[in-house]
Amino acid sequence: MNGAESLIRTAVAAGVTVCFANPGTTEMPLVAALDSAPGMRAVLALFEGVCTGAADGYARMSGKPAMTLVHLGPGLANGLANLHNARRANTPVVNVVGDHATWHAFADAPLASDIVSLASPMSGWVRACKSALALGGDMADAIAASLKPPGQVATLIVPSDCQWDPAPSAATPRVPVQRAAVAGQTVERVAEFLRRKRPLTILLGGAALSEKGLRAAARVAAASGCKLMVETFAARIERGAGIPSPERLPYFPEQAIKALTGNEFIVLAGAKDPVAFFGYQGIPSRLVPEGCALETLARPEEDIVGALDELARVLGAPVEAPVPAAKRPAVPSGKLDPASLGAALAALQPEGAIIVDESATSGGPYGAMAAGAGPHTCLALTGGAIGQGFPTATGAAIACPNRRVIALQADGSGMYTVQALWTQAREQLNVTTIVCSNRAYRILQIEAARAGNTEPGRQARSLTELHPPEIRWTDLARGLGVPGVRADTADDLVKHLERALKEPGPSLIEAIL
């Protein structure tokens, strides 16, 4: 066995069985090892941002890390934006980055760079392998590091001699660290605040957005009369009829501050102290209003669901709390706009759908409309680095082959990582994409108007309009092996969506907004 085989065998033994790869010369022994060590599924992506985004989507849905395989510093650098999103989602990801042979490093060959420095800002754990003998153990450590609650990006840099030199064996998987229980005193302290019946909001994030977490939180609210809100961009949230559906903290800081005003207490359950997405002149960074006390029930890495359950218990909460009834909007007709688009999707999405939402300004109306749809899962853009939607949908579909993935994809964001469509076609993944084709960076136009620039100049307009030329999404999709159709009206969208959701494999609908 060589080092590369020991790495792959170690990964498979630890349950890491998917590798999103875009390799080069320095990874050739690892590429060869994929066939000699059974149990690993290798998936080629045509850009590293697709590898990292797919690994994020895969782990959000499976709870297990995927490995990526990328080529030296430049390959890793191409994947950094989606690693940033994975970091903000607390997703376990194991990046394996090839490097020049240790003895070739002195030569400063053209592709050489400081990979540790490139990896560090987006990784919670970084190690450069020193020898083939250590490689299996390094991989086992990387996997364990990625799974350290609440989950993080781990990057292992593997020089090519560490891959091809002999290695004795694979390493045994490390015992995973469990989430720490929240202290009884902390739960009791929060219960005390709740018993005072003063205005209090519990802000839910991370594992609190699982079905169990949402149910426990709803029981707490039913017992105490407190309000529940969910963080603005959730890595993963369960939604639909029968699942409690708290209001989402608004995106714009003025609205978020307004939504939180009037509380005497805000309690964090898996969410972070909420802050404005950007600094705006005259608006505070922190969204918790002045004079409002902030308490933490559970940090993202703690046993959030256990803490909410315990809180419900000490409050003597009812066993069941109110949940949204099954109620879908009517199938829309006529003009295609964000409201009719949202209605079409909420009306037609199948039970168990996974909604990958990178819809930016076009997805607003959809969320409320889908609260009574069949149970489903939503994955949002957590780190604000656009270009996550197509790759995340790809990874989610590999994690859950029996569920329909629906990517609600803004057009500008989609163009960053459109190559993912090719991987969806090659792997025949059940992903239905709706491109929200407003032919603009609309959010930037909104931001310009908010800043008082209501009549932007020619150049400013040219930086926020996506035409001319018109991006022909149906041609793009077809060119990458995915059938594509165009919807000009709500009726078109309904017709295309009904058909696409029945057919296996990927497809794309360009919704002209």
Ligand X SMILES: Cc1ncc(C[n+]2csc(CCOP(=O)(O)OP(=O)(O)O)c2C)c(N)n1
* Contacting residues toward ligand X, per CB under 6 A: 81, 360-362, 384-387, 410-413, 438, 440-444
How distant, in Å, are the alpha carbons of 230, 233, 235, 263 from that of 287?
Answer: 14, 15, 20, 12
Element (H, E) at 125: strand 125-128
Smallest distance from ligand X to CB 351, Å = 28
Beta sheet of 67-71, edge-to-edge order = 41-44, 18-22, 67-71, 93-99, 153-159, 125-128
> Rounded to 10 degrees, what is the CA torsion of 221, 225, 231, 232?
130
Nearer to ligand X, 210 or 445 (CB): 445
Residue nearest to ligand X (CB): 412
Nearer to ligand X, 265 or 441 (CB): 441
In sequence order, which ranges of 43-150 are alpha helices (DSSP H)?
Answer: 48-62, 72-78, 80-88, 115-119, 132-147
Smallest distance from ligand X to CB 392, Å = 14
Side-chain half-sphere CA neighbours of 396 within 13 A: 31
Nearer to ligand X, 183 or 463 (CB): 463
How distant, in Å, are the alpha carbons of 40, 143, 164, 170 from that of 161?
Answer: 22, 21, 5, 17
Smallest distance from ligand X to CB 493, Å = 17
Tokens linked to 433: 């994409």
Smallest distance from ligand X to CB 52, Å = 13
Nearer to ligand X, 202 or 408 (CB): 408
Whether omega before 469 lies within 30 degrees of 0, making that bond cis, reads yes
Nearer to ligand X, 394 or 430 (CB): 394
Smallest distance from ligand X to CB 172, Å = 39
Nearer to ligand X, 26 or 409 (CB): 409
The span from the CA of 131 to the CA of 117, in Å, is 20
Smallest distance from ligand X to CB 70, Å = 18
Nearer to ligand X, 370 or 471 (CB): 471
Residues 6+ apart with CB under 8 A from 63: none
The span from the CA of 301 to the CA of 269, in Å, is 11
Smallest distance from ligand X to CB 465, Å = 10
Check if the beta carbon of residue 18 is closer than 8 Å to that of residue 43. yes
Site of tokens 């066993």: 319
Smallest distance from ligand X to CB 79, Å = 12
Nearer to ligand X, 323 or 466 (CB): 466
